[in-house]
Amino acid sequence: MRNTRTFVIIFISLLFSLVAVVVTGKWLGDQAYSDVVLAASDLDIGVRLTGSMLTSVTWPRASKPSGAFSDSALLEGRMLKSHLVKNEPVLEFKLAPEGTSGGLSGVIGEGKRAITVRVNDVIEVAGFALPGNKVDILVNARDEERKSFSRIVLEQILVLAVAQDVGRDDTQPKVVTAVTLEVSPQEAETLDLARSIGSLSLVLRNQMDDSHVDTKGRRISDLLNEPESDVVPSPVESEVVKREPRIPSNRYSHML
């Protein structure tokens, strides 16, 4: 009888020990890992999130991305201001502020503006510039002596939309009617002035290249290796002065 009681006590002790090990292991696992919400498929800029667009995975807590979400319910109705690829974590900085209305206005950066340029004003890579790409903008016009020049007037400009499409399809270039660009108020003035005096071209940039190049523009004489005079009038300034002689030319010096 005494031996039976001893075996029962040992069995109960082992059972409690096993339960303690399981509970402790689960607690330690919960401390080491956390759920992270991911995109279930490629998602375009401007999309309003729903539960069907999202999935969750277990992620090591020590390497959990900053701004990640553990509960997909917190993302219901939030709008993307950046593209997401399948299985990419949804991060706070890629979302428009809560309560943002839909449409393109919700993805414009703080202090920025959106300006649309007609496709017949934009040549070269218009069909290859996708939303999210960065481009430089060239103007080709004539100076006060009716001599042609070409010059970069804006750099690192974000493409918000191609035509009315804010989605990315890297497989096919598109025939478009307009390109919408994100610019500062000053850049908007520069772009509007540049397109009023000549034709514009988009120059596609490497996404990782944020360098600035200060050029003086190019003229036909440069292509023919002919010497230039010591004083070369500003191409954009000269055109504006010709069209509006009453306005002082130094008003447009910011375009140089």
As beta bridge partners, residue 223 has: none
Query: In this structure, which amino acid lies at residue 61?
Result: R
Confidence (pLDDT) at 120: 61
| Per-residue pLDDT at 121 | 62
Question: Is the pTM of the predicted complex or chain greater than 0.85?
Answer: no
Domains and CATH numbers, the chain: 33-99 (3.90.1210.10), 113-255 (no CATH)
Q: Which helix (H) or strand (E) holds 16?
A: helix 2-32
At a CB cut-off of 8 Å and minimum separation 6, what does 134 contact? 156, 157, 158, 159, 205, 207
Tell me if 192 sits within 8 A of 139, measured CB to CB. no
CA–CA gap between residue 34 and residue 53 (Å, rounded): 20
Exposed, middle or buried, 176 (CB in 10 Å: 0-12/13-18/19+)?
Answer: middle
Q: What angle do CA 43, 136, 123 make, to 5 degrees?
A: 85
Distances (CA, A) of 109 to 2, 59, 114: 79, 30, 9
Residue 38: predicted pLDDT: 94
pLDDT at position 252 = 41
Per-residue pLDDT tens listing for the chain (256 residues): 556 777 667 777 777 778 777 776 666 555 688 899 999 998 887 788 999 999 999 888 888 889 999 999 999 988 887 788 899 999 998 888 887 666 677 778 888 999 988 766 665 565 567 778 888 998 888 888 888 888 999 999 988 887 755 555 555 555 566 788 999 999 999 999 998 888 888 888 887 888 888 888 888 777 777 555 544 454 444 444 444 444 344 444 444 4
Residue 247, pLDDT score: 39
pLDDT attached to residue 237: 45
Q: Which alpha helices (DSSP H) does the chain contain, by range?
A: 2-32, 185-197, 220-223, 235-243
Note the pLDDT tens digit of each residue in 75-94: 998 888 778 889 999 999 88
